[in-house]
Structure 1
């Protein structure tokens, strides 16, 4: 699953594997915040985490559709970012300054960290590719943003 998705996804998966390797592949780690997190992620975490049975996204929507998976995902992702990243009002996307204090993101390895973000993007991708949506730009933007952050965290040399 996901093997035939765009190259951006493969690059993100590789960055994630490199991040976990740099952290020493811990099982446990600090809990990632849940502010604004899509309800499907919380339900998965409290419902037994059956990886072979991903949750069905009830309302995929897009950025700006209040209550949609996409809008909630972006709110959650924004809540996890370094203070240097600012939301651009016109697009809802975030800036990517050259210098950032990576802080808590350097510690987000293990099952309680970036794995949640990766799983949530995977489920989003399943919806996009299963239903044959023509416009996958929202998902692609999220994949690219997470890849950029993981790249920055890895290059900072601060992974814990």
Structure 2
């Protein structure tokens, strides 16, 4: 479905596949936190992970719009980051220091790790492209941020 999406999405998918390959394609893995994740992710997980039936996002919104999918997604994503990343007040985006302690991100393989992040971005993309929205910058920024993190984790050589 995402093959006609911008090249950024294809790069992210490739980085994700390289990450899982480096981890040895485990089925299980440590569970990532869920305190601030979008409700749709939790519903997908508790509803039996029906890949053929992605959840409908009720309020896509944007970063900074309280209770929107986009804002909840960014809060969840921030909660997964190493301590070296900081939120830039003006934009709500995060810094990408040259040197980071990758920590728990190196262990986020398998169905309970980055796969949840990838699925949540895919659903977001489905909504963006289905509705023909003009401004896809929030989704594109999220895709770019996840790609940058996966790139850094892979280059660290610490994937477990």
Q: TM-score normalised by the shorter chain: which range applies? A: over 0.9
Counterparts of 1:32 and 1:46, CA distance in 2: 15
Structure 2 length normalisation: TM-score? 1.00
How far does the alpha carbon of each residue in 1:97-133 deviate from its partner, in whole angstroms, 9 at most, with x for none? 0000000000000000000000000000000000000
Unaligned 5+ runs, structure 1: none
Counterpart in the other structure of 2:41: 41
**Aligned mates of 2:69, 2:54 — CA distance in 1:** 14
Alpha-carbon distance in 2 for matches of 1:35, 1:80: 10
**Match for residue 5 of structure 2?**
5
Q: Which runs of 5+ in 2 are unaligned?
A: none
> Structure 2 CA distance, aligned partners of 1:61 and 1:80?
21
CA distance in 1, matches of 2:133, 2:38: 20
Provide the C-alpha distance between the structure 1 equivalents of 2:133 and 2:48, rounded to a whole number of angstroms. Answer: 29
Alpha-carbon distance in structure 2 between the residues aligned to 1:6 and 1:115: 20
Q: CA RMSD in A?
A: 0.3
1:35, distance to aligned residue in structure 2 (A): 2.2
Query: What does 1:1-160 correspond to in 2, within 5 Å?
Result: 1-160=1-160
Give 1:49 deviation, angstroms. Answer: 0.8
Structure 1 ranges of 4+ moved more than 6 A: none
The aligned length equals 160
How many Å separate the matches in 2 of 1:86 and 1:35? 19
Separation in structure 2 between the aligned mates of residue 36 and residue 70 of structure 1, nearest angstrom: 12
Deviation sequence 1:47-106 (CA, Å, 0-9, x none): 011101000000000000000000000000000000000000110000000000000000
Residue aligned with 2:64, SS: coil
Deviation at 1:40, TM superposition (A): 0.1
